[in-house]
Amino acid sequence: MRLLATLRKDLLLLLRDRGEMAALFLMPLAFILPICLAFPADGYNLNADEKPGLPLAVYDLVDGQPPLHTQELLDSLAETFRLETNHSPADGARLALDPSACAASGAACDEAVVRGRIQRDERSAGLVIPAGLSAAVDAGQHISLTLVYNPARSPVDRQLVEAAITGSSMQLSIQNQLTNGLGQFEDLIDLVPEEVQAQIRRQVQGAEEAAPQPTLQPALAVVTTHPAAAQITKTPSTVQQTIPGYTVMFVYFLIGTVTASLQLERNTGMLRRLPVTPLRRSAFLGGKMLAGLLIGVLQVAAMFAIGAIFFHLDLGRDWGALLLHTAAVVLSAVCIGLAAAAYRIERGINIFLIVAALLAGCAFPADWLPPALRTVNVVLPQTWAMRGYQDLLTRGGGLAAVLPEIGVLLAIAAVFFLLAQRRFRFAGGE
């Protein structure tokens, strides 16, 4: 009952503070609405091109240049795609590849980057052209190319690559069969008199017109492969990035709200009167935690509802997991606020929260950050909040996908709640 009384009191205090309510509910909209309205749907995809990019690894090189048939294939692909080759070790470092994979520029580094870009969802498909392709085509042999694709993406780009390879393959097959056939025919016809040659040519021409066309086997075959689903990082759309991102940013402003609430009670002398009541410190802090939890969940629900109704934000397939993750996010923010209030940390909180939000990928995808910062930001609760929402809203995961994030956030909440309980005093003393 005492906990519920504290909960009711704090809810009333928070709801009566119009400035705080405007900051928690209206300020996120001030960021979300213009960005969602102004940016294109794939505005956060830096690799959105009119002519889709196709990363390549070309092993078939002679003196650093592709031979005839390989060049013909590249020219055919270039009609539809912007070809991307000659990747550097710096590209490997950006993709966080094993340094040995891109120890130096070359085909091996190109292939590692191709696969890395597919895993990072920078491209939907990539192609590996094996050594000896042109020689195999000249010899009339079949050879396989490896097409790496992202199964989470639209299959259109993969189908375009396959169509371009098929077209080039059939052309090569026709050319080779005609060349070989004519060569053999000319060798034989030169051995007979001219009158017989003319008769043979007339008969051959008639037979070619009457005979059905042979079924040509492609000179090039395509072997498709894709990374494991767990290795693929899907790039969020503008809506999938903006709405959860700015919602998380402002949810953690609850830290300042909770701190200001306790400071107000301390300044008005309310805390000094509480020791004479039967209210225990744990019940007092628990009531504040529950009040903050309810406000925060309502804040997230309002932002996501606006996103779903007006911007068609897909809330995922597991609403229970979404609610649990949201509760863990809000609890971590509220408990950090309680600890900050208990230790009387008040100045600079909002500046720190803005910097933390940027590092955590709230304003833009965290993949844009340098690898060093992506390593550092794992200590921030906002990072785990964003990872969970992206797992649910962008990648379509369920409860199992966000259990690690929920576990980390609940651990953060528990640690800071214990710190708050240990340090907090009703009276003014430390």
Residue 212 lies in a domain: yes
Confirm whether 393 is domain-assigned.
yes
Q: Is there a domain that residue 47 lies in?
A: no
First-to-last C-alpha distance (Å) of the chain:
28
- Structure confidence at residue 263 (pLDDT): 79
Q: Which of 193, 213, 231 is the last residue of a domain?
A: 231
pLDDT (tens digit, 9 = 90+) per residue, 64-91? Answer: 888 888 888 888 888 888 888 888 888 8
Residues 62 and 140 in one domain: yes
Q: What is d(CA 261, CA 10) in angstroms, rounded to the nearest whole number?
A: 8
Q: Are residues 165 and 313 in the same domain?
A: no
Residue 5: C-alpha distances to residues 9, 15, 16, 295, 321 (Å): 6, 15, 17, 16, 30
User: Are residues 338 and 420 in contact, defined by beta-carbon separation less than 8 angstroms?
Assistant: yes
Residues 281 and 180 in one domain: no
For residue 368, the tally of other CB atoms under 10 A from its CB is 12
Using the structure block, give the residue that is written with the tokens 């701190």. 259
Q: Are 270 and 255 found together in one domain?
A: yes
CA R_g for the chain: 32
The count of domains in the chain is 2
**Token pair 């040659």 is at which residue?**
197
Residue 215 confidence class, pLDDT cut points 50, 70, 90: very low
Looking at the fold, whether 192 and 70 belong to one and the same domain comes out as yes
Decide which of 201, 231, 261 is a domain's last residue: 231
Quick one: 265 and 411 in the same domain?
yes
Structure tokens at 138: 């000249």
Pairing relationship of beta strands 220-225 and 143-149 according to DSSP bridges: parallel
Q: Which of 7-21, 215-229, 405-419 has the highest mean pLDDT?
A: 405-419
Rounded Cα distance, 231 and 47, in Å: 19
| Residue 23 pLDDT > 70 | yes
On whether both 193 and 70 belong to a single domain, the answer is: yes
Q: Which of 8-17, 186-195, 210-219, 385-394 has the lowest mean pLDDT?
A: 210-219
Answer yes or no: is 430 within a domain: no
pLDDT at res. 227: 72
Check residues 142 and 255 and name the one with the higher pLDDT.
Answer: 255
Q: 329 pLDDT band (50/70/90 cuts)? A: very high
- 143-147, 165-169, 339-343, 425-429 — most confident range: 339-343
User: Of 217, 228, 47, 221, whose CA–CA distance to 127 is shortest?
Assistant: 221
Stretch 169-181: mean pLDDT, rounded? 53
Cα 109 to the chain's mean position, in Å?
22
Q: Tell me what pLDDT residue 170 has.
A: 61
pLDDT tens digits along 354-394: 999 999 999 888 877 877 888 889 999 999 999 999 999 98
Residue 369 lies in a domain: yes
> What average pLDDT does the structure give for the chain?
80
pLDDT in the model for residue 338: 92
Lookup: tokens for 97: 């590849």
230 pLDDT tier (thresholds 50, 70, 90): low
Strands 125-129 and 220-225: unpaired
Read off the pLDDT band of 151 (50, 70, 90): confident
Residues 110 and 172 in one domain: yes
CA 81 – CA 114 distance, rounded (Å): 15
301 and 366 housed in the same domain = yes
Q: What is the mean pLDDT of residues 134-147?
A: 82
For residue 428, tell me if it sits in a domain.
no
Domain of residue 404, residue span: 2-42+235-423
Whether residue 160 is found in the same domain as residue 172: yes
pLDDT of 214 reads 45
Is 340 a member of any domain?
Answer: yes
If pLDDT is split at 50, 70 and 90, which confidence band does 50 have?
low
Give yes or no: residues 258 and 397 share one domain: yes
Which strand ranges, in their side-by-side order, compose the sheet holding 53-58? 82-84, 53-58, 125-129, 143-149, 220-225
Q: pTM for the complete prediction?
A: 0.65
CATH for 139: 3.40.1710
Q: Looking at 33-37, 203-207, 317-321, 326-330, which range is the least confident one?
A: 203-207
Tell me which range, 198-212, 276-290, 340-354, is most confidently predicted by mean pLDDT.
340-354
- Residue 407 inside a domain? The answer is yes
- Per the CB < 8 A criterion, the answer to whether 302 and 382 are in contact is no
Best CA proximity match to 289, nearest among 343, 250, 344, 328: 328
Q: Are residues 224 and 240 in the same domain?
A: no
Domain boundary among 202, 231, 260: 231
Task: In whole angstroms, give the CA distance from residue 76 to residue 166.
Answer: 10
